[in-house]
Amino acid sequence: MKEWKLYIARTPVLGRAVLLIYRARVAFRYLSNQSKYFIKWLYKSKEVTNFTYDLEENNKRYLASLIADVLNMEFDTIMEYIREIEGDIALRRHVSDMVESGEFAFMADKDVKFGRRVGWYAFARATKPNIIIETGVDKGLGSCILCAALKRNKDEGYDGKYYGTDINPNAGFMLSGEYSEFGDIWYGDSIKSLEKFDDTVDLFINDSDHSADYEAKEYQAIGNKLSEKAIVLGDNSHCTDNLFNFSLKAKRHFIFFQERPSEHWYPGGGIGICFKRQ
């Protein structure tokens, strides 16, 4: 660094130009892989929003470790749940078939990838919730994943029900067949749907209108309906601090998990986790 300073001091114009090129090369090393994946995605994917991808292997392990700490459970148990959903051939076949036969096939990929939703699944399997609510279902991939968890929970003697909300009457087309036996979708404004709901919620996932104001109103609407053991997952926590603020006000803990997508240009979202220590 001392040599750089001397060089720039002696030849300020040329020295700064050389330094600029050097810095650009450093940055490009980080960007070049992303551009490679962007070109691949551009030609092979049909997605225009809610991008799907796998997580890097270490990222999954970090996620499992984080969930295990939140729930005071063993890492291996949570990791088994993640492997369980990743290896669910029936679910993958169902999603792929729904994409192929649905009217939205032009903007969805048959190659099924779960991303951070494996964390949703692990929470649902580990906590055995009676009621799950997800706001904003889009195509219904998350709906199917959560209902797959409830299906396995039922096989183990734990009943549960999933409710999704979405303002789009065409949302959730993937939630059909055996998965629809465990869940329903409410169509209309999510906040109004939450305000009408009169039961206790064990797992709440915010994934609807990603404006900060709307997100905050959802937490406000559901706040007094959370069970003592309830987990709140925020799909917008990489953009806003609303779930963090809600957690502070509700005397709850907050942790954030950052995704690292595998071989994808998207930098990844994350999971905000609001919980009480059991």
Residue pLDDT, tens place only, 221-259: 999 999 999 999 999 999 999 999 999 999 999 999 999
User: pTM higher than 0.75 for the full model?
Assistant: yes
The pLDDT tens digits of the residues spanning 71-114 come to: 999 999 999 999 999 999 999 999 999 988 766 666 788 889 99
Mean pLDDT, rounded, of the chain: 89
The per-residue DSSP string of the chain comes to -HHHHHHHHHSHHHHHHHHHHHHHHHHHHHHHHHHHHHHHHHHH---SSS---PBPHHHHHHHHHHHHHHHT--HHHHHHHHHHHHT-HHHHHHHHHHHHHSTTGGGS-SS---TTHHHHHHHHHHH--SEEEEE--TTSHHHHHHHHHHHHHHHTT---EEEEEES-TTTTTT--GGGGGGEEEEES-HHHHHHH--S-EEEEEE-S---HHHHHHHHHHHGGGEEEEEEEEETTTTT--HHHHHHHHTT-EEEEEE--BSS-SS---EEEEEE---
Please check the confidence at residue 198 and state whether its pLDDT lies above 90: yes
pLDDT bin (cut points 50, 70, 90) of residue 184 is very high
pLDDT bin (cut points 50, 70, 90) of residue 215 is very high
